[in-house]
Chains A and B, each alone.
Chain A
């Protein structure tokens, strides 16, 4: 406790707090631009942080991390173009709210949920990281496979009108995910001798194409069709009422826990957490309410945002306690810590306790700042909606191209994005949902490689998935969450037929 207090004193020093503010602001901008993910944001600031002292440098990177995870939700809500994969789930309900003229409320809820997610997960990191890391260590290949399967099972609940179409998109995505070197044998699959295909099709350009480019193409078409100026979406800045916040607080807390836990599992990150949290919020809702998910339910935004921001604290658990990066952002942070002469791992708390608690304090402050900036920015962000379409749409297209290019500095990704954009356009036209494809590209490689790794470990016996308690439980949950929505829908369908 005393250490924590000391940490806050350090973090509130003028220069440190300045760095946190700058980091969060920069992170929000980075996150809101398509293609610039949290990982890239942190990597971009790494060289700058190296010129600072250890505390300043690390706190800056953490602030960028927090800001960019939240920033992704802004474009997702306002323009249906998630800035990062983690906010693809936010778009599911965020964009419908914008279309209904509730952009201000949606953004405010996202800001509050994001801050809460960050706070709760940092709190858990501070209090129970040793326990969390013990659980995380029990995750090996079979458990990770089961988690991936559980994630994939969500496809059936985010499919919108037609589960069949959602499944088609999901399985198509799983096939696309196998392009590249086989994770187990390194054999190049479906690469047609193209070296750029060896590492597979990057899901970020695909996501930019499916969401941003496809949306822009559709809107350009509508704009040309209507001829007269398309009516701009009206929005009024209404702060959500306390009554409305009461409705979402359970979802926020549940999602924050889910996010923290998924973040602490090595190999699973914010994108997965957001979808899982979204799905759980839907599952825990009343029957009537369940149908409003995907049509602008504030709980959808709250759960997705609390879930992906919850990962921030969770991802630090294996990094700080075991010295192992759980995801890509943590890997960059690991490098940053080590360059500053700190070695994350079991000894960190003993050797650099002061530093660790300053880091925790910085995380708390960053989480609070996310909410503050998010709420202050609502008015500013919604201005985007008043930008005339003939300026906004070309800008989105240009940003998409630059974003796709800047991931790996190559044009192959830009063409992938364009192709995804064309496919996405037809998918929108014919009622095929885009989210299952993103989910499949994120989880497909994980599901396949973990399953095969588990089977290598068990020397071919499938029993390994069912004899281990965590794995068996998750697989059972996956089957339930896959089939339940289909059964519900079938019952509803029968009822409707009877009635008519």
Chain B
């Protein structure tokens, strides 16, 4: 049975093998002691052993978390929105993108009055901007707008 633990175990084994392979190309250290590749390779071996444990130790008693198609769709939608938002910040400017992102998230989470959502988004953006920009003097990214 392909349980979640088994899938994760297999992914981790692939990951560790890649780590081992890349690390084997590292040059030797000139001085004494273990070299550049020693630590990552040792950890890769350890992770493979643990992954085998994940695959073979009591898979029956493992709780199965269901992950529906609808959930996956929702999750991807949020993540993609975040990626677009982050991508646009340095290009369009922090204030404008954040205003839109906040509005989008608020309306998606609560189908209430659009005006209230807009005002809330404005307040969130304004206060984050003010705190970071003026109180802490952290330069926030500005794109073509601000």
* Chain A contact residues, CB within 8 Å of chain B: 26, 29-30, 33, 36, 44, 47, 164-165, 167-168, 171-172, 174-175, 178, 182, 184-185, 187, 189-190, 217, 220-221, 223-224, 388-391, 393-395, 397-399, 401-402, 405-406, 409, 411, 414-415, 418, 422, 425, 429-432, 448, 451-452, 455-456, 458-460
Contact = CB atoms under 8 A, between A and B. Distances in A.
Contact of B32 (A185, A190, A459): A459
A221 B86 contact: no
Given A187-B27, A221-B75, A394-B124, 12 more contacts: A44-B138, A47-B137, A220-B78, A220-B109, A221-B71, A224-B109, A397-B82, A398-B125, A402-B140, A418-B82, A455-B32, A460-B32
A456 B109 contact: no
- SS class, residues of chain A in contact with chain B: helix
B83 interface: yes
18 contacts: A26-B135, A30-B136, A36-B136, A164-B50, A168-B8, A171-B47, A175-B16, A184-B33, A189-B23, A217-B78, A220-B109, A391-B124, A406-B138, A411-B90, A452-B33, A452-B38, A460-B32, A460-B33
B50 A402 contact: no
B128 A399 contact: yes
A422 B74 CA distance: 13
Contact of B79 (A33, A391, A405, A418): A418
B86 A401 contact: yes
B39 A178 contact: yes
Nearest to A168: B50
Contacts of B30: 185
Contacts of A455: 32-34
Interface in B73-104: 74-75, 78-79, 82-83, 85-86, 89-90, 94, 98, 101-102
A415 B140 contact: no
Interface residues of B, number: 67
A458 B33 CA distance: 9
Contact of B12 (A26, A33, A168, A459): A168
B145 interface: no
Contact of B36 (A175, A189, A217): A189
B113 interface: no
Contact of A405 (B12, B131, B141): B141
